[in-house]
Amino acid sequence: MSKRYNFAAVLSAVVLICCGALILNQNVNAAGEGKITGTVKLDGPAPHMKGIDMGKDPYCAKAHANDPAHLETYVVGADGGLANVVVYISEGLSGSAAAESSATEPVFDQKNCMYTPHVLGLTVEQKFKVTTSDQTTHNIHPLPNPMTGNIPWNQSQPPGAAPVEKSWKAPEMIPVQCNIHPWMHGWFAVVKGPHATSDTKGTYTISNVPAGNYTVTAWQEAAGTQTQKVTVAAGGAGSANFTFKPK
Amino acid sequence: MQRNNLRKWSLLLGAVAIVALPMPSWAQLTKYDLESRMGVESHVGNITGHAKAAKADYRRYCVVCHGELGDGNGESFPWIDPKPRDFQLGVFKCRSTPTGTLPTDQDLFDTLARGLDRSNMPQWSTFTKQQRADLVAWVKHFSPRWTNEKPGTPITIPPEPEVTPERIKAGRDVFARVQCWKCHGVLGQANGPSAATLTDDLGRPIAAYNFTEGARPKCGDTDRDIYRIFMTGLDGTPMPSFADNIKPDEAWDLVFYLRTLMSQNSKEKAMAKQLGLKPVDPNAPAGQQ
């Protein structure tokens, strides 16, 4: 009889230790979190990007007098690297990791009558700032689908205006425009969890990725999305390269 | 014969695609979803409106334009511009609340009495208050936004000051500084440099308001209404909110200046004439007009 009790005690101790180890293990992961890196390329020659005539607003035209502006639907670097592609984890994140949002407050600036960056990656509920560096009035007008829970708004920013601080409620690729300068077109790419945006070399690094098996999605505003499976070891690096065909 | 048919079909499909593509339709609620929200209420003063009670009135008076599912897809849709509103989106032009927030019940109630000028949306001022309150609840039951969010907090409008020539001049400086004229034109004729390319949130062309034609603003034509219009914006359109960038006192100056652009006779118009007030100079650098 007592033997049986002993056995039960040992068993529950073992279970407890295992649980503890599992929980600890999670913490260890959080400390030595891994990453996902890679390169995004465009297959074939870069599509021609039309020049922008800013003649409607002399301030804008002057800002680009020596550096003509072009549409930014595809921004391709010297080696075919594709910029402004948002890469994020679409499957495999635990609830808490998906809910986690970076502490920094990203900035979306209106500069020389263009948006910098052209695509701003954000997590759900993450606060961001819209600023203006221009001496002309802009109106900042995101166009989400209201059925997602993201609500459209439209605010003016005259020269010297204070930043507008906002956040989004649901994952969505949200186009943003200025009605005063109709060529100004950008994106708020709202996703869950860790994400990164490719630079002009096409490279990206998603940091703070816990160990696990993931599906990673790369989104380009015109070419669409692609997915890949990636495994990240504790504190290690997974890799995913993408090649888009222009549409 | 067969090939001919094929051609016909592909032409038809192509035509459908062309018509369908530039007009995103976001509506996705079904009759079933709507049944479950029949209990929605509105509160206007001491009147409580009940969605259920407006069912017959909506059928009779509104459905031709706004559609069975409230998605704006009524029978009249093809012939109307601006298009009947899609209530499922929960986005409204005439609000006392900040941009990006729901209007109050009172806002919608007032809109029904007023109608929307420069559109086919009629006035419903002959309805009883109870009827209108019920219809407000009915309009709300089409959008889940009213389940998930509260209406915004109405903006505060300070008492209207006495109009003076100085205030009218100051109002012109605000009009210049924040560049209303980019869309509305320096004379308010809706012909600013950005006027031609304006589109609403669904990508449909939209005109800026022409101050000089005698048409009333959609969202009301009292001084307070006009104050509210540019401090909250008309959501769903290019008309932005200026709440963060025009101080309350300056906002009144701007209201007075806008009166000088309108065709109707007013104190402000007479004062501007006496002042010999010139329109803003679109070529002066921003902030220095």
State phi, psi for A195 to the nearest 5 degrees: -160, 170
Nearest Cβ partner of B193 from A56, A143, A157?
A56
pLDDT at B25: 54
> Do residue A155 and residue B233 have CB atoms under 8 angstroms apart?
yes
C-alpha atoms less than 13 angstroms from C-alpha of A196 in its C-beta half-sphere: 18
A222/B contact by beta carbon, under 8 A: no
Instruction: Tell me the pLDDT band of B32, cut-offs 50, 70 and 90.
Output: confident
The pLDDT value recorded for residue A83 is 98
Nearest CB partner across the interface for B194, out of A155, A162, A180: A180
**Percent helix / strand / coil, chain B, rounded to 5:** 45, 5, 50
pLDDT given for residue B34 in this prediction? 85
Instruction: Assign B171 to helix, strand or coil.
Output: helix
For A47-63, what is each residue's pLDDT tens digit?
A: 999 999 999 999 999 99
The per-residue pLDDT for range B125-160, each reduced to its tens digit, is 899 999 999 999 999 999 999 988 999 999 999 999
What's the pLDDT score for residue A5? 54
According to the model, what pLDDT value does residue B35 have?
86
| DSSP of B49-97 | EEGGGGHHHIIIIIHHHH-TTSSS-STTGGG-SSPPP-GGG---SS-SS
Q: What's the order of all strands across the beta sheet hosting A107-111?
A: A114-116, A107-111, A128-132, A164-166
pLDDT value at residue B138? 97
CATH 1.10.760.10 residue spans of chain B: 165-275
- The pLDDT, as a whole number, for residue A101 is 66
* CATH architecture classification, B31-148: Orthogonal Bundle (1.10)
Per-residue pLDDT averaged across B255-259, rounded? 98
Amino acid at A175: P
pLDDT in tens, B47-61: 999 999 999 999 999
Of the residues B143, B191, B245, B283, the best mutation for testing chain A's interface (the one with the most A CB atoms within 10 Å of its CB) is B245
Q: Which of B11-20, B93-102, B207-216, B237-246 has the lowest mean pLDDT?
A: B11-20
Ranges under pLDDT 70 in chain A: 1-32, 101-102
Size of the A and B interface in Cβ pairs below 8 Å: 101
A59: nearest CA partner in chain B? B285
Q: Answer whether B241 touches A (CB < 8 Å).
A: yes
Please judge whether B283 and A139 are an interchain contact, meaning their C-beta atoms are less than 8 angstroms apart: no
Q: What is the mean pLDDT of chain B?
A: 90
User: Tens digits of per-residue pLDDT, A84-124?
Assistant: 999 999 999 987 777 776 678 999 999 999 999 999 999 99
pLDDT value at position B283?
A: 83
Question: What CATH number does the domain located at B165-275 have?
Answer: 1.10.760.10
**With contacts defined as CB-CB under 8 Å, which chain B residues touch A181?**
194
Its pTM surpasses 0.90? no
Interface test with A, best of B88, B142, B147, B178 (most A CBs within 10 A): B178
Q: Which residues of B touch A136 (CB under 8 A)?
A: 179, 286
